[in-house]
Structure 1
């Protein structure tokens, strides 16, 4: 079943888990959503609501902790793994500080992993808050959401006329998985529409799966205006990333989005970024022709950062390191 909230589609993917024969129908719905919006909700994803609720509770407990406890796992302690906590105004988007705090996580890799031993950036151990049960809940949650994302990529592949395992065989058999937990403080008394929790941007990888709490704030750029993406119970908001635009030659566009928390409550969001393997080489899917009208549908005629994705080459790791080094300039020289 596909329906919409305002205009952003909601796609029930439950049958995708139960019956592989439904790949074609779900794939067609995903293709329409990725072409028209670059965003969609999914329900029927199979992730235990109790696990998601547990992660939300743990996140609120952490962000309510005294600053000195949060700083104990600051990103400065994460080294080349690029993990840990950052305070409000500690991250830049479009060159401006974001009004949010957060924690960076990724695939948990021990010191004997070859990539860790080689010092490959963005690979290593997570820094976990000192909260009972946090580590186990987090790692289980990452595994389950990653599995849901891999299933969605099968549907997207079929929607593009490709074999179901196209992305897994070429890009996500050993994916780069990045997970963030963000807290957006309430709007200030003097706030105007330019005070943003995170400024307009696109995501870097293939597919983002976002769990958001009941506080609204996410906005999507579509047809020359910002559309709200309000909370939908037991759903994930998913969006196309830069690499999916690159691989589909512009058929799918990595859509601009931003967050403005205009409420009097804190807002928790938990995005997981399912990205190509770090060493994956970026090449457009040969059977897909470029769509010259795509960029104009959901962007102001140009990307937020001026990048022409059609010219991006090399590995995903190259692209990712170039991006993240601009988000935390104070760590760039130290880590990279």
Structure 2
């Protein structure tokens, strides 16, 4: 293919009309050399073998990386703030509860910023399921997205664990001692006074608020943020959730952010105790709580606020379809230009 500024390329470009199609009136003026350049000029979608595999892997890897970044910042700030309270780890505490909220907010913003333009930046199985239920996200992609998200949480937690392992040893009293004291740096555990029902409700409520805000941000008929600013708004959203609703359960609001690191802790010496805590707390609070809360928040937003065609709340009912069928041709809805008319 000739260089972008070459005469051959300019001749080839001039031979195409405003629609991008070849103009017969201009084609006849091309020289034989120009004609050969015209035939050779094309965009190669897969310039090499790896690019084909990358096209398949881009979306799940983006979700994997987004969650890994989220957990690196989130679990990392947990470790720094809590472990530094031990005088054997640091001469003075490095941070506060507000620092933890900032860390998780920054991790969310950067995770979405890295993955948003490729996979949509879900980085949360509860968000993925909500978009599949209410926004037409393909259900066939849901399993691979969730798997990638959980693996991102596991790897992110593993990197943080490797980084802070010596400080963890000091706090625990040895390499082979692992308790909930440091397990809670990676996954969420409710405070002792919280009942099971209250813990579930806390996660349910926080995730419902999260999804309502996310759906409002993506609603083009509401007040969507300018292009590229969604991660910044998510930073403030997660920061606000942490400072207002995060104390009691650690505000998982994301099954992958909790389950991935929980898998990691069970693999590095914490054992089955991370699953048996409060009769399988890990299932119904940081997993089912966010998933059901996300569905409830999405249901409420779409039922009362959303008017886009993606949601099943706005699909035409039988009576409306019948009226459209019998309406005069000039009153029937016309598909957008270029739409596929195949039924």
Query: Which TM-score applies when normalising by structure 2?
Result: 0.29
Q: From the two aligned structures, give the one with the greater strand fraction.
A: 1
- Hey, which of these two has a bigger chunk of helix by percent? 2
Structure with bigger gyration radius: 2
Give the structure-1-normalised TM-score. 0.29
